[in-house]
Amino acid sequence: MKLVDNKATLSFSNGAPSVDLPVYAGNIGPDVIDIRKLYAQTGMFTYDPGFLSTASCQSAITYIDGDKGELLYRGYPIEQLATNCDYLDTCYLLLNGNLPNEGERKDFHKLVINHTMVHEQMQSFLKGFRRDAHPMAVLTGLVGAMSAFYHDSTDINNPEHRQIAAIRLIAKMPTLVAMAYKYGIGQPFVYPRNDLSYAGNFLRMMFANPCEDYVVNPVIERAVDRIFTLHADHEQNASTSTVRLCGSSGTNPFAAIAAGVACLWGPAHGGANEACLNMLEEIQASGGVSKVGEFMEKVKDKNSGVKLMGFGHRVYKNYDPRAKLMQETCNEVLAELGLENDPLFKLAKELEKIALEDDYFVQRKLYPNVDFYSGIVQRAIGIPVNLFTGIFALARTVGWIAQLNEMISDPEYKIGRPRQLFTGSVKRDVPPLAQR
Ligand SMILES: CC(C)(COP(=O)(O)OP(=O)(O)OC[C@H]1O[C@@H](n2cnc3c(N)ncnc32)[C@H](O)[C@@H]1OP(=O)(O)O)[C@@H](O)C(=O)NCCC(=O)NCCS
């Protein structure tokens, strides 16, 4: 952190002494005011629910400029990574800080691809779930359970353990997601194959069965790899902050990542693409394109509680760069599969067109987010809607690990312990039962 030649002075109207607070600059982005000594100096806390103005850590992994619509992983624009690299290159970059050279790339791909199988007993654990359990419920359990299966990689303070856990998690997440899917539909699990790419292997584990193998279509393989790359990290969002907070107690890496999976499940976060597809299906069931106008009126009516899912973003107040890339992939996949005239996809295109032109959305800078298009792509590929968030979790696992490892290696890291503004009852005595 660079101390800048600019102090913030906090003064109080009640005459209490003012305090000077140091200011630090990042390499890009807003400076931060250091309030670590504020409580000691003033006896006061700051109040910032939802962390709208609070940097919870220093990080060198991902940078987002929401106004410009820019996303950088380790300095590289997402557009260049999505076009010139694959997901495993991106994983290497996020974990190690630099893109792999040819030899490093080969070794890293081999390392991950050779660790895709899970402990056979994991199947018995999985079989304890009801078949109709939501895949995110299953995944939260399976990822947490990895700590019970892989004892040699549970010490978060041991760099070697963290490295082994990282490779295990990245390698085995596709296997676990595909297993959760197969279990739900009552088909046998398909074992991974080391001669396929990371995305190709995932597609095969999802869609092959003992009666029929699955031939990987390169357009679909590229689309899935791109979904993974675009979701690999997104700096200090809710699930990543959850992973950091959970890991800050020194818990094992699998438990910390399981906490991230649980947080991602919510509809305001990773569950948005599922919510988006559900919304499309509801409009379709109620009359399709002819009902779009009526639906949009509801979206604009604040009392209706209806939101256009897949639109808007807390950070991006410009076009999400990932949405542009996903839109490109979406068009490619629909054309490859001959689905351009599918009613649901036509409906999605109509919503997109109206929202991009309508004053309500234009004035509020509400653009389609990555979930809008990734939901459509996944649906076109044949991935069931309730598995979308699981695929997001698979892709985000590397970001969570990179952020967790960064936190553990940070000399300034402390167990996370937010403060509160207490608004409950002041001290009182417990009345006898008859008087309550
Ligand atoms: C993502 C989201 C939670 C961001 O919320 P936020 O940061 O609180 O959004 P803002 O407060 O900047 O919203 C600004 C305005 O746009 C409106 N708005 C935001 N997203 C909207 C949407 N999807 N549909 C309709 N109106 C929306 C808000 O009601 C607010 O209106 P107002 O200024 O008249 O009160 C929100 O856009 C949303 O719920 N989107 C749908 C879910 C989704 O796709 N999530 C995926 C995120 S990756």
Q: Is the CB of 268 under 6 A from ligand 1?
A: yes
Q: What pLDDT score does 153 carry?
A: 79
Same domain, yes or no: 230 and 161:
yes
Query: Are residues 207 and 123 part of one domain?
Result: yes
By residue range, what is the domain housing residue 368?
272-381
Residue 349 three-state SS: helix
- Kindly give the number of the ligand 1 atom that is closest to the alpha carbon of 372: 44
Same domain for 114 and 26, yes or no, is: no
- Considering 234, 313, 342, 429, which one is annotated as catalytic? 313
Q: Report how far ligand 1's centroid is from the alpha carbon of 317 (Å).
A: 10
Own/partner pairs, 83-89, CB within 8 angstroms, 24+ separation? 85/229, 86/197, 86/198, 86/199, 86/225, 86/229, 87/198, 87/199, 87/225, 87/228, 87/229, 87/232, 87/395, 88/112, 88/198
pLDDT in the model for residue 88? 98
Testing ligand 1's pocket by substitution, the residue of 280, 354, 364 carrying the most ligand atoms inside 8 A of its CB is: 364
Cβ(308) – ligand 1 distance below 6 Å: yes
Are residues 154 and 289 located together in one domain of the fold? no
What pLDDT is attached to residue 185?
A: 97
| 391 occurs within a structural domain | yes
CB of 310 closer than 6 A to ligand 1?
A: yes
Q: Is 313 labeled as catalytic in the residue annotation? A: yes
pLDDT at 319: 85
Indicate whether this model's pTM tops 0.85: yes
Residue nearest to atom 35 of ligand 1 (CA): 302
d(CA 432, CA 436): 7
Query: Could you tell me which residues come within 8 angstroms of residue 238 by beta carbon, excluding any fewer than 6 positions away?
Result: 263, 264, 266, 268, 269
The number of the ligand 1 atom at minimal distance from the alpha carbon of 317 is 12
Q: How many domains does the chain have?
A: 3
Give, as one character, the DSSP assignment of residue 50. G
224 and 167 within one domain: yes
Which residue of 276, 292, 302, 366 sits with most ligand 1 atoms within 8 Å of its CB, as the best mutation to test the pocket? 366
Asked, for residue 62, whether it belongs to a domain, the answer is: no
Assess if residue 129 is contained within a domain.
Answer: yes
Tell me if 426 is assigned to some domain.
no
Q: Does residue 180 fall inside a structural domain?
A: yes
Instruction: Report the nearest atom of ligand 1 relative to the CA of 302.
Output: 29
Q: Could you tell me the CATH number of the domain that includes residue 40?
A: 2.20.28.60
Give the alpha-carbon dihedral of 64, 69, 75, 76, to 10 degrees.
140
CA distances from 5 to 23, 55, 129, 205 (A): 8, 20, 58, 56
Distance between alpha carbon 84 and the CA centroid of its chain, in Å? Answer: 22
**Do 97 and 201 reside in the same domain of the chain?**
yes
In the block, residue with structure tokens 């890291």: 413
**Is position 119 annotated as part of the catalytic site?**
no
What CATH number is given to the structural domain containing 353? 1.10.230.10
Question: Ligand 1 centre and the CA of 136: distance in Å?
Answer: 24
| Same domain, yes or no: 192 and 163 | yes
Answer yes or no: is 325 within a domain: yes
User: What is the distance between the alpha carbons of residues 234 and 245, in angstroms, rounded to a whole number?
Assistant: 16
Say if ligand 1 is within 6 A of residue 90 CB. Answer: no
Q: Are residues 326 and 395 in the same domain?
A: no
Ligand 1 centroid vs 329 CA: distance in angstroms? 25
DSSP state string for 403-419: HHHHHHH-TT-------
Query: Residues 98, 126: one domain?
Result: yes
Which residues of the chain fall short of a pLDDT of 70? none
Residues 234 and 346 in one domain: no
Residues 198 and 296 in one domain: no
3, with CB counted inside 10 A (0-12, 13-18, 19+), is exposed
Within-domain flag for 375: yes
The pLDDT value given to residue 227: 97
Rounded to the nearest whole angstrom, what is the distance from the C-alpha of residue 353 to the centroid of ligand 1?
Answer: 18
In a domain, 74, yes or no: no
Q: Which residue has the tokens 């400029």?
A: 65
**What is the whole-number distance in angstroms between the Cα of residue 60 and the centre of ligand 1?**
28
Write the DSSP string, 270-313.
TTHHHHHHHHHHHHHHTTGGGGHHHHHHHHH-TTT----TTB--
- What's the Cα-to-Cα distance from 434 to each of 96, 138, 221, 327, 430, rounded to whole Å? 65, 47, 69, 66, 11
Tell me: do 235 and 201 sit in the same domain. yes
